[in-house]
Amino acid sequence: MTQAGKIATPEQLHTIGARAAELITSGQAVGLGSGKASHAFVRMLGQRVREHGLNIVGIPTSESTARLAREVGIPLGSLENIRQLDIAVDGADEVDPKLNLTKGGGGDLLREKVIASIARRYVVVIGEEKLVEHLGMKFPVFVEVVEFAMPVVIRSLATLGASATARMTADGQLFRTDNGNPLLHARFDPSDKQLLHPDILDQNIRNIPGTIETGLFLNKADEVLVANFNGTVGTLRR
């Protein structure tokens, strides 16, 4: 298990980004994730495109990733003409022993889940600090919602045992995802037994009218690349 308080260094993220970029081959359609580890992967993938003429097309999971991909020279496509991705590489906020994920800390969970759903191979890149015994130990469950229904969803989450609040920006405005929707932070007590059964919890949240998507990514990761504190990169497979 992880060492408390430690986080992956920029050097570790660079290493894991390079390792993930090596998985990509010419001719592939590639899902490009969001967040620090994913962006390290995008930068290294761009380097391979520039230096080795790698012929790929990328589908980004956020506007920030799209900007970065353009900066580093990765050609981008759209879901209008790409039905399936050969591989997607993304990060996570938490990873449990079954390789279930908590995602959404960057606010991009809906697009990330769409990309995960059409990827033949879904690879997650994280620092060792993201490994947890069960989901919800360090992060809330993120929930993207319709703004009109936000009060209803918050009250409904309370009946499930969560204290839910809307994410706000630094200047006190309601945070909106790239899709224009609010994002809730649903915090459960880490000892809540619901967190031991994320599949049931996910369905209960999704059943609330006004919920668009949750940040629980279950049975999606095929493998997880872990930047360990000792400088090595480990691989976990489902």
| Rounded CA separation 90/205 (Å) | 23
| Rounded CA separation 238/163 (Å) | 32
Q: Is there a catalytic annotation at residue 51? A: no
Q: Give the E-state strand segments of the chain in sequence order.
A: 29-32, 57-60, 87-90, 94-95, 101-102, 122-127, 141-145, 163-166, 183-187, 211-214, 216-217, 223-227, 233-237
Q: How far apart are the first and last CA of the chain?
A: 18
Query: Taking the CA of residue 23 as centre, how many other CA atoms within 13 Å lie in the half-sphere pointing to its CB?
Result: 23
| Rounded CA separation 226/13 (Å) | 9
Residue-wise burial string across 24-38, b where 16 or more C-beta atoms lie within 10 A, e elsewhere: beeebbbbbbbbbbb
Q: Pick from 113, 102, 95: which is nearest to 139 by CA?
A: 102
Annotated catalytic residue: which of 112, 128, 129, 144? Answer: 112
| Rounded CA separation 89/232 (Å) | 19
Q: Pick from 76, 84, 92: which is nearest to 119 by CA?
A: 84
Contact between 167 and 145 (Cβ < 8 Å): no
Contact between 203 and 182 (Cβ < 8 Å): no
Residues annotated catalytic, as ranges: 112
